């Protein structure tokens, strides 16, 4: 692991302030404090937004994510991450960054692009 908690070859697409929310009592309600979310080329990591580097509250690998949407949660900018296990993670995103966070997660879960025409290698 590197000093940022990322594995060798893993790099960050972006960092965001988020809050986990749930639908209760007819409205979206925050669950706890604001958190720090990091999207890498391999994972979505959600950490407490205080102190040093701690264990992530969520450590979701790209292969576990089915879809992601930028949504309005009670009139506020947010995202919904649908996991292949059937669980949905709803996050409010600070500073109207929901569409950027959703884009970064989509980039992470997209299969690597392959060239339409493979180069030919000649042997000498």
For 16-81, the DSSP string reads: EEEEEEEEETTEEEE-SS-EEEEEESSEEEEEESSSS----SEEEEGGGEEEEEEEEETTEEEEEE
Confirm whether 32 is domain-assigned. yes
Q: Is residue 71 part of a domain?
A: yes
Please give the pLDDT value at position 64.
98
State which residues form the domain around 30: 12-109
Q: What is the pLDDT of residue 121?
A: 66
What is the structure's pLDDT at 95? Answer: 87
Assess if residue 46 is contained within a domain. yes
In a domain, 47, yes or no: yes
Distance (Å, whole) CA 106 – CA 67? 8
Q: Tell me the whole-structure pTM to 2 decimals.
A: 0.84
User: What's the total number of domains in the chain?
Assistant: 1
Q: Is residue 114 a part of any domain in this protein? A: no
Residue 12 or residue 6, greater confidence:
12
CATH number where 85 lies:
2.30.29.30
Q: Is residue 6 part of a domain?
A: no
* Cβ–Cβ under 8 Å, residues 7 and 28: no
Q: What is the mean pLDDT of residues 63-74?
A: 96
| Residue 76: burial class (beta carbons within 10 Å; 0-12, 13-18, 19+) | middle
Residue 37 pLDDT > 50, yes or no? Answer: yes
Whether 124 is in a domain gets the answer: no
Percent of the chain with pLDDT over 90: 73
């Amino acid at each position: 692991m590197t000093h940022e908690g990322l594995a060798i070859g893993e790099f960050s697409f972006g960092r965001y302030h988020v809050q986990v929310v749930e639908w209760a009592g007819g409205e979206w309600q925050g669950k706890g404090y604001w958190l720090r979310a990091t999207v890498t080329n391999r994972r979505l990591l959600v950490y407490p937004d205080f102190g040093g580097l701690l264990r992530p509250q969520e450590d979701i690998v790209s292969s576990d994510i089915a879809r992601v949407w930028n949504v309005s949660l009670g009139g506020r900018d947010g995202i919904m991450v649908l996991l292949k296990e059937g669980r949905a993670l709803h996050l409010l995103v600070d500073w109207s960054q929901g569409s950027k966070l959703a884009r970064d997660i989509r980039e992470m879960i997209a299969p690597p692009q392959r060239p339409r025409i493979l180069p030919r290698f000649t042997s000498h």
